[in-house]
């Protein structure tokens, strides 16, 4: 079971989801996984038996076994000591649970690291950018080390600690405010086994955190939101009075007008920030007011930060 658990923790199923295998190949792998979980590290069978077990014709099964063997996803040996499937001869099959030995075409399917499904993550770039709100903003490198240290619950990290966790830690600190990541890691320190698990299941842990820490002063929270909205509107109006001086374009003026009059100005600032490269003369405005941004998802839902314990 240790090998199976390691396979799951290394996101083996997500790697399989990107492998572009045939239906028969997936059926074979799932059957071998079930055997492995039942304590059968290898099975001796024939194509005819497998055909009855997984409901695919024998020819398709033999083709699939050959393909999976070429990709080093399964190991096979026939009774004539050759790695070849004969129609009537029995052969032994086992699953290669070490993902690093798989030979998957990464040009078409992506690498093992790409298999982790991260919120707001894309192959080329992120569709959402969330700016950290701390005054003394740490570098990405320092933030990653903070996350890894918190996750492993030790201050002195070695090279393996950093190497094994840096990729997932970087996604977390680039996607969410550092203080929220650290708070959730601390709260669920006994439940989160890998950083990739937190990254791919962030919404689950985030909502669970809110449920367990629901003591919120809603009236005070509303006042703080109103104060931030008002402050942002005033800044937008101040910039509008200097439109000529700052050589603002019509689009840039339109953005400021929207922010200064909208019911939810901080949400509008967040969306405008995603296209900031189109508003070059508003760079200073974005930098000065990033602290007011209210991140939202593509469906318009607010990304709520974890509440502070009292």
Torsion of CA 14, 17, 20, 21, to 10 degrees: 100
207 and 227 inside one domain: no
Indicate whether this model's pTM tops 0.75: no
**8: CATH:** 1.10.10.10
> In the prediction, which pLDDT does 40 show?
83
Distance CA 148, CA 172 (A): 11
pLDDT computed for residue 198 by the predictor: 87
The position carrying tokens 């839902």 is: 301
Assigned domain for 131 exists: no
Indicate the helix (H) or strand (E) that contains 110: none
For residue range 121-131, what is the model confidence (pLDDT) as tens digits?
444 444 445 55
Q: What is the CA radius of gyration of the chain?
A: 26
For residue 22, the SS3 value is coil
Residue 185 sits in the same domain as residue 253: no
Among 58, 89, 110, where does a domain finish? Answer: 110
Output b/e per residue, 177-201; b: 16+ Cβ within 10 A. bbebbbbbbebeeeebebbbbbbbe
Residue 241 lies in a domain: yes
Q: Could you tell me the two tokens for 41?
A: 């590290």
Query: What is the reported pLDDT for 86?
Result: 56
The pLDDT tens digits along the chain (310 residues) read 677 777 777 777 777 777 778 888 888 988 888 888 888 888 888 888 888 888 888 888 888 888 888 888 888 876 554 555 555 578 888 888 887 888 876 544 445 454 444 444 444 444 445 554 444 445 788 888 889 988 888 878 888 888 888 888 888 888 888 888 888 898 888 888 888 888 888 888 888 888 777 654 455 666 777 888 899 999 999 999 999 999 999 999 999 999 999 888 888 888 888 888 888 999 899 888 887 776 554 444 444 444 444 4
106 & 149 share domain: no
Q: How many domains does the chain have?
A: 3
CA distance 100 to 186: 31
- In 3D space, the residue among 310, 287, 303 whose CA is nearest the CA of residue 119 turns out to be 303
Cα–Cα nearest to 93, from 150, 37, 32: 32
Is 48 in the same domain as 27?
yes
Based on the domain organization, do 57 and 156 belong to the same domain?
no
- The verdict on residue 128 lying in a domain is no
- Say yes or no: 28 and 13 in one domain: yes
The verdict on 208 and 222 lying in the same domain is no
For residue 298, the model assigns a pLDDT of 43
Domain shared by 204 and 261, yes or no:
no
- Same domain for 205 and 161? yes
* pLDDT tens, residue by residue, 82-129: 555 555 578 888 888 887 888 876 544 445 454 444 444 444 444 445
Last residue of a domain, one of 179, 212, 245: 212
126 within a domain of the structure (yes/no):
no
pLDDT of res. 278: 86
Residue 115 lies in a domain: no
Residues 192 and 236 in one domain: no
Q: Is residue 117 part of a domain?
A: no
pLDDT for the residue 241:
93
Tell me if 25 is assigned to some domain. yes
Q: Domain containing 259: what range?
A: 218-292
- Same domain membership, residue 25 and residue 93: yes
Domain presence at residue 69: yes
pLDDT at res. 203: 84
74-100 as b/e: b if 16+ CB within 10 A = bbbeeeeeeeebeeeeebebbbbbebe
Q: Could you tell me the two tokens for 141?
A: 């490198």
- Residues 206, 224 within the same domain: no
């Amino acid at each position: 079971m240790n090998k199976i658990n390691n396979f799951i923790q290394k996101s083996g199923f997500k790697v399989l989801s990107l492998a572009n295998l045939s239906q028969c190949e997936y059926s074979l792998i799932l059957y071998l996984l079930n055997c492995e979980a039942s304590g059968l590290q290898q099975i001796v069978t024939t194509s005819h038996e497998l055909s009855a077990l997984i409901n695919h014709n024998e020819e398709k099964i033999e083709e699939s076994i050959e393909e999976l063997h070429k990709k080093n996803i399964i190991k096979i040996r026939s009774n004539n000591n050759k790695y070849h499937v004969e129609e009537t001869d029995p052969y032994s099959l086992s699953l290669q649970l070490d993902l690093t030995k798989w030979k998957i075409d990464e040009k078409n399917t992506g690498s093992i690291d790409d298999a982790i499904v991260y919120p707001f993550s894309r192959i080329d770039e992120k569709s959402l950018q969330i700016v950290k709100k701390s005054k003394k903003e740490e570098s990405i490198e320092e933030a990653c080390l903070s996350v890894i240290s918190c996750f492993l619950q030790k201050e002195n990290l070695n090279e393996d600690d950093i190497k094994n966790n840096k990729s997932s830690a970087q996604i977390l600190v680039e996607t969410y405010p550092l203080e929220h990541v650290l708070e959730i890691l601390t709260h669920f320190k006994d439940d989160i086994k890998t950083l990739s698990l937190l990254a791919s299941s962030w919404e689950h842990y985030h909502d669970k955190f809110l449920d367990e820490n629901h003591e919120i002063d809603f009236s005070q929270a509303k006042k703080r939101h109103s104060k931030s909205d008002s402050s942002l509107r005033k800044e937008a109006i101040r910039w509008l009075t200097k439109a000529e001086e700052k050589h603002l374009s019509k689009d840039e003026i339109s953005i400021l007008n929207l922010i200064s009059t909208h019911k939810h100005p901080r949400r509008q600032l967040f969306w405008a920030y995603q296209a900031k490269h189109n508003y070059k003369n508003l760079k200073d405005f974005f930098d000065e007011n990033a602290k007011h941004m209210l991140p939202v998802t593509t469906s318009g839902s607010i990304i709520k930060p974890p509440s502070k314990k009292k």
